[in-house]
Amino acid sequence: MQFLSHITSEGDPGWPGNPTLKISPFSQIGQGDVANTYSLEYFNHFGTHMDAPNHFNAQGLPVTALPADLFVYRHPYLLDQPLRESELLTARHLGLHDLEGVDCLLIRSGFEQYRHTNPMMYAERGPGIGSDAATYLMDYCPALRVIVLDWISISAYQQLDDGFLAHQILSGAKGHDHFILGIEDACLARVQTAPSWVVALPIRVDGIDGGPCTIIAG
């Protein structure tokens, strides 16, 4: 088994302008307290995290309304598609792969390499999912329940209008009667072959539109 989610640190890159993570010791054994505890100030779309439908769909489900079986995937597919700075994954890219029956699509662009070597570029010039690709996934991949990305967001920061539209399409806000979850900022670099199963568990906080997510695969 292996983790497909990053260990989260205060210095990790986040979406430009958004809060990230602040860790504050609350009690410490070294200072005479009985236990070590910490206060976390944590933005819910930071680090490896899951977008619930409500993120871009006012009528969409919040994370706590998603059933447990929606987080277990038995037919994952690893799609290797190198993407450059600000480049969009398109329907043409997807059409080269047989995605019938796939319930978890792991999209590896290679952009993860910049997460630590060039975090500003990782945050501000990452690739994205094109709106035509989002429509393709919704129309032609009926078994698909989640996409997992090795970059910071479905939306490319340099192409926000199309990125926001892609988010809306995947959330079911543009006329579809279903949705596809998104997991952003995942750790796919060390995956050798497509895993046989994936489990992705988001934090369940009442009323929020998504949150930090731990992913395990085997």
Chain segment 149-198, per-residue pLDDT in tens: 999 999 999 999 999 999 999 999 999 999 999 999 999 999 999 999 99
pTM: 0.96
**Burial category of 50 from C-beta neighbours within 10 Å (exposed 0-12, middle 13-18, buried 19 and up):** buried
| pLDDT, tens only, 95-145 | 999 999 999 999 999 999 999 999 999 999 999 999 999 999 999 999 999
- Structural domains in the chain? 2-11+44-217 (3.50.30.50)
Could you give the maximum distance between any two Cα atoms of the chain, in Å? 61
Q: Which residues contact 8 (CB under 8 A, 6 or more apart)?
A: 21, 46, 47, 48, 212
Q: Do residues 20 and 14 make contact, with C-beta atoms less than 8 angstroms apart?
A: yes
Q: Which residues contact 136 (CB under 8 A, 6 or more apart)?
A: 91, 94, 95
Question: C-alpha distances in angstroms, 83 versus 65, 67, 107, 126?
Answer: 34, 33, 10, 9
| Tokens read off for 215 | 């992913």
